[in-house]
Amino acid sequence: MRKFHLKWLFILLLPARAPAAADTAGAPLELSLKRAIEIALAPDGNARVQIAREMIRQAQQRANQARATLLPNLDAYVSQQNQTRNLAAVGIRIETPIPGFRIPELVGPFNTFDARATATQTIFDFGAIRRYQASRVGIGAAGADNDATRDQVARQVAGFYFASLRAEARVQAAEANVKLAEELLQLAENQKTAGTGTGLEITRAQVQLANERQLLLVARNERRQANLQLLKAMGLPLEAPLLFSYQLSRVPVEEATPEKALAVALESRADLKAQRQREESARLSYSGVKMERLPSVVGFADYGTIGTSIHNTVPTRTYGLSVRVPVFDGGRRDARRAESGSLFEQEKIRTTDLKRQIDLELRLSLDSLRSAEEQVNVAEDGLKQSEDELARASRRYKAGLANSLEVTDAQTRLARARDNRIAALYLYNQARVELGQALGTIQQIVD
């Protein structure tokens, strides 16, 4: 019976077994563009998102520091001292008319015990109020910077996602080219067996197959590199396997004039909102430095007990108001005011320049999107014609009306047409993402 209880006690004390990593390590992550961006923007995702979130906390603590100058400041202390004093050192000399009698210059030693609480409260200080207001605006700027960083990360992840789709499409195209080259090699061998072909045609088909296999190896290596870049941008382990939910395709985009797009961007761009907040913060800081010339009022008080020992004390107190009137500080305040005014002017210049940059980005994005759409149309037409050409060349070769050179040329043009279509679709999707970034609606476009 004792052995039975010991056995079950040992089992209960064992730590719970976690699921084996191998159970899920081989399961690929099914990834859509929306899912990829969600992973990157998660709290433990992309490093830039995590840093931007910490910047908000930093701005909040700066605001708390600025607010502290407007709140009561309470301190308490307890001291026990044993002192001696040289009265002559502070100018105290007492002469007596009694010959031979003199007041000693050294007083003490004596004990002093003091337990006291002190408090100060800013009652009127416009400069401190303005600094606190500027710090509160700084929190809004940090929040807008966080939104801008999230948009930039979404743009980056979308770019890597489409690069992975392009690499995947190139692998599929290379595999199709290899399969086609194998079929043409088999056709050349059949033609030679039937007496209508030559050994040169077989050699030509073998060379073409070797070239296509080489291109397939290059495409697979590019796919691995593209997937690693995407995993890094999402903040995932680099060994995680991926399975893409989509393929490169053309998603229609609503047409917009530059004027209409600019109006949307000026309302939606998070980086512009952050810049406007920084400009407002600089304005308030400049105003706060100017208001330091005004008088400030501070209340103070203390209460405690003092005596020769803890058992021999009496309570005492002090309270009152102090008015501080700035008169002259060697020009330091004027220099600070000029400096803060310059910083304010810099922020206004940055705001104006950012608006112009947004206008430029929008116009370039719209042009790139229109050009990419035309390239997709041309590439799709070229792919269809190349497929028709190869089909005709194959029929002529099988019928003995042409040699394998005509088929090989058609095969090469088909491979180039496939690459052109992949490149055009990639450029189109990149232009679509860049337009969303320029508009400030990148996260809505990728949904």
pLDDT in tens, 18-29: 333 333 346 788
Q: How many structural domains comprise the chain?
A: 1
Q: What is the pLDDT of residue 19?
A: 34
Q: Answer whether residue 109 is part of any domain.
A: no
Q: What is the pLDDT of residue 88?
A: 80
The residue segments making up the domain with residue 213 are 42-74+126-298+335-445
What three-state secondary structure class fits 249?
Answer: coil
Written as six digits, the tokens of 18 are: 């976690």
404-439 vs 199-234: helix crossing angle, rounded to 10? 10
What three-state secondary structure class fits 14?
Answer: coil
Q: What is the pLDDT of residue 29?
A: 85
Q: Answer whether residue 19 is part of any domain.
A: no
Q: What is the pLDDT of residue 408?
A: 84
332-398 vs 270-290: helix crossing angle, rounded to 10? 170
Q: Answer whether residue 380 is part of any domain.
A: yes
Q: What is the pLDDT of residue 9?
A: 32
Amino acid at 322: S
Rounded CA separation 124/66 (Å): 15
* Longest pairwise C-alpha distance within the chain: 151
Q: Answer whether residue 202 is part of any domain.
A: yes
Intervals of the chain under pLDDT 50: 1-25
- State the CB neighbour count (10 A cutoff) for residue 155: 20
Angle at 74 between CA 68 and CA 80, to 5 degrees: 145
CATH of the domain at 197: 1.20.1600.10
Rounded CA separation 380/421 (Å): 6
Q: What is the pLDDT of residue 11?
A: 34
Q: Answer whether residue 89 is part of any domain.
A: no
CA atoms within 13 A on the CB side of 218: 10
Q: What is the pLDDT of residue 4?
A: 38
Q: Which residues contact 84 (CB under 8 A, 6 or more apart)?
A: 106, 107, 108, 109, 110
Q: What is the pLDDT of residue 166?
A: 94
Q: What is the pLDDT of residue 16?
A: 36
Q: Which residues contact 176 (CB under 8 A, 6 or more apart)?
A: 418
Q: Answer whether residue 36 is part of any domain.
A: no
Q: What is the pLDDT of residue 10?
A: 34
Q: Answer whether residue 90 is part of any domain.
A: no
Q: Answer whether residue 151 is part of any domain.
A: yes
